[in-house]
Amino acid sequence: MKLTSNLQGLLAASFSVLILAFSNLVHAEDYPTKPVTIVVPFSAGGPTDAVARLLSVPMTKFMGQTVIVENTVGAGGTIAANRVAKSPKDGHLVLFHHIGISTAPALYSKLPYDTLNDFEYIGQVVNAPMTLIGRPNLPANNFKELLVYIQKNKDKVTLANAGPGAVSQLCGMLFTSQLGIPLTQIPYKGTGPAITDVLGGQVDLLCDQTTNTLQHIRANKVKLYGTTTLKRLSSLPDVPTLSEQGLKGFQVVAWHGMYVSKGTPAPITEKINAALKFALADADVKARLAELNVEIAPPEDVTPAGLKRQVESEIKKWGPIIKAAGAFID
């Protein structure tokens, strides 16, 4: 008798699991059933926001539902990542984050989410190189002069960034630690507002993605001191890298990826991945990214496995560097 009621319980439980799996699949087939929101961890008008908005146009076409961009700023991108990690598993909230997702585990001792286990990985998106720029009226006209200027004005030189966990902060941290001179850091909610203050002369220096800086470099509105890649940029062939100018091996590239909450059904994650691939193949998107010297990730990386591989290897790479620099937040 007892055995029979146990068996009945087991059958009822299995049946509910099957019903739940079936209803998830039915929902997955209908996806998206409402507008899809891309969550950007930094301010509107910045480089992450710019790429998300560019992609949202062809993604809307592919999805048959509006893809909107929302900026959930603060704590170096971890508030946005936590928002998506804790969201319903229905693919309507998509995180668009950069390298900061893999530096946060070393910077923050208590993240409210688990980077490797709380997300479904959609795919890598783009790789953006960075540039070290200065306010237009900064007396130093090149990197050599900048080093002399910093030596003479150590206590008053300011370096803008988008907060701990931002790639601008990572780049600035590497720059100051290689120089061996700690500069005053001025944090913003994104490099959109930070570059406005560089242009206005309120802050001295900023390390930021070409997505944000190239237009001002081309218009001669900022001073340019070098690029953060090992090779010179095709858009700035005459500009030496920081590595060439003495900061040996200096390299920071802002790679980006897309994520949804863990447990989102495969048909939904596959559709988001297909929408992303569709957007990256769009002629206008390709032309705009090329203009900004932003590279589209190779096809094998625009995959869940490609992104997971990248996040894992970047966590391993940056953890010891951040620890050595002693740059903890809490």
Residue ranges binding ligand MLT (CB under 6 A):
42-43, 46-49, 98, 100, 162, 166-168, 190-192
Q: Based on CB atoms, which residue is closest to ligand MLT, 96 or 143?
A: 96
Q: Based on CB atoms, which residue is closest to ligand MLT, 31 or 42?
A: 42
CB of 131 to ligand MLT, least distance (A): 12
CB of 327 to ligand MLT, least distance (A): 14
Q: How far apart are CA 251 and CA 216, in angstroms?
A: 22
Q: Based on CB atoms, which residue is closest to ligand MLT, 44 or 63?
A: 44
CB of 68 to ligand MLT, least distance (A): 17
CB of 188 to ligand MLT, least distance (A): 8
Nearest of 96, 80, 76, 246 to residue 169 by alpha carbon: 76
Which residues on neighbouring strands pair with residue 93, listed in sequence order?
37
CB of 48 to ligand MLT, least distance (A): 3
Sequence-distant (6+) residues with CB within 8 A of 166 are 42, 76, 77, 100, 190, 191
Query: Any alpha helices (H) in the chain, and if so which ranges?
Result: 2-30, 47-63, 78-85, 100-107, 143-152, 167-179, 191-199, 210-218, 266-280, 283-291, 304-325
CB of 15 to ligand MLT, least distance (A): 48
Q: Label the pairing between strands 67-71 and 93-98.
A: unpaired
Nearest of 110, 85, 111 to residue 97 by alpha carbon: 85
Of all residues in the shown chain, the one whose CB is closest to ligand MLT is 46
Q: Based on CB atoms, which residue is closest to ligand MLT, 192 or 265?
A: 192
Half-sphere exposure of 89 (CA within 13 A, CB side): 15
Q: Based on CB atoms, which residue is closest to ligand MLT, 63 or 170?
A: 170
Q: Based on CB atoms, which residue is closest to ligand MLT, 47 or 304?
A: 47
